[in-house]
Structure 1
């Protein structure tokens, strides 16, 4: 059987614990792409956080982002086959995370946003700063998630964490 495509989950599969792709994994991906097999990245991550790996692997395929809520075409710089939350769903979810004191990031069509810095984000920012500037994803501190919801064309994900 000749494979036409292979999809890789990122965290815990493609990426080692240090957020890097192992050299032997890169070599294996280069071998299969040389044979014409398409490589697709699949992740719960925002497309801007997938992009450094897409660039490193020299891919030309779209990525499946935010747990499947959209597919992103890096070459055309647009999302398609998307299923964002409605503004009402996003507001309801925001009320719940606020009610229970759950740390949240909101992933929009343009960027990731946060209100409060936590230890996970501090670690993430170290990784971001390790990248060349043109590969650094945009993550924006905001004062009010309600404004983010109202001003965004699409809300794709609430990434939550809590101690």
Structure 2
């Protein structure tokens, strides 16, 4: 097996099981990997605030790639290593589009130090999907009069929740209208109700963010193992030296990978790590 030097690992649906728990077998395997000299970078769609506890539990010191590649934060200082913002005119077009279809946007900013991560319009007609999300993220959001000019900084990401048929219907329309100026991922999470669309600038992806770190680490792309389960992982599964899709991944994600591992409920990450370390 080639010599790999860095593991890029998604969190939800990959590192965590379907109950959103970090299994002891996975935790122990990653600690063995670090002890063996492998670098581990968490690459997630999560906010920094909700990804940081996972890194701390695992004892990982490297920066975290958050918001599907739109933000990279240093775990020791919480400083921003990289941020790719949505252009102001694109944000306006995106908000107009979501308003047109009656969808409620949540806009995320790089404001960890202010103890707030995302914003909603004060008069937004919240659905039960949004209410569920807000209840599970109490204290991390603020309501503002306008998302167009009421934010404390530029937007990193926009998300909206709805039922799957609605999101599947509008996604191609949005792609046509914005013509590559955003990335758009249709995702789900075991933690929340419904499905959601997430939008970043077209320049943002997990692999693009990871490629920035590889130069600093002096690690080549062929020395990277990437592990993921959802469509925001596809960029790194295709570009890494070894791209591994979880057994619970959708078909189009599996087709982007070199190999398929057992699912997140079958200790898939632990079994991959053991194989890389020569213990399986």
> What interval of TM-score do these two structures reach, taking the shorter chain for normalisation?
0.7 to 0.9
2:47 equivalent in structure 1: 46
Q: Which runs of 5+ in 1 are unaligned?
A: 130-137
Give 1:144 shift. Answer: 2.9
Q: How does 1:40-79 map to 2 (within 5 A)?
A: 40-79=41-80
Rounded Cα–Cα distance in structure 2 between residues aligned with 1:145 and 1:25: 43
- TM-score calculated relative to the size of structure 1: 0.81
Q: 1:44 to 1:145 in 2, by over 3 A?
A: farther
1:20 equivalent in structure 2: 21
Give 1:42 shift. Answer: 0.5
2:256 equivalent in structure 1: none
Rounded Cα–Cα distance in structure 1 between residues aligned with 2:131 and 2:37: 39
Which consecutive segments of 4 or more residues in structure 1 shift more than 3 A?
114-129
1:161 equivalent in structure 2: 161
Q: Which runs of 5+ in 2 are unaligned?
A: 112-116, 164-280
- TM-score calculated relative to the size of structure 2: 0.49
Question: What count of residue pairs does the alignment treat as equivalent?
Answer: 154
Candidates 114, 122, 125, aligned match of 2:120: 114
Give 1:154 shift. Answer: 2.5
54-63 or 86-95, larger mean C-alpha shift: 86-95
The higher radius of gyration belongs to 2
2:144 equivalent in structure 1: 143
Rounded Cα–Cα distance in structure 1 between residues aligned with 2:37 and 2:82: 24
Rounded Cα–Cα distance in structure 1 between residues aligned with 2:136 and 2:51: 13
1:92 equivalent in structure 2: 93
Q: 1:55 to 1:82 in 2, by over 3 A?
A: same
CA contact (8 A) 1:109 1:152 kept: no
Give 1:18 shift. Answer: 2.1
Deviations 1:76-101 (A, max 9, x none): 21222321112222122111112211
CA RMSD after TM alignment: 2.3
Rounded Cα–Cα distance in structure 1 between residues aligned with 2:127 and 2:137: 15
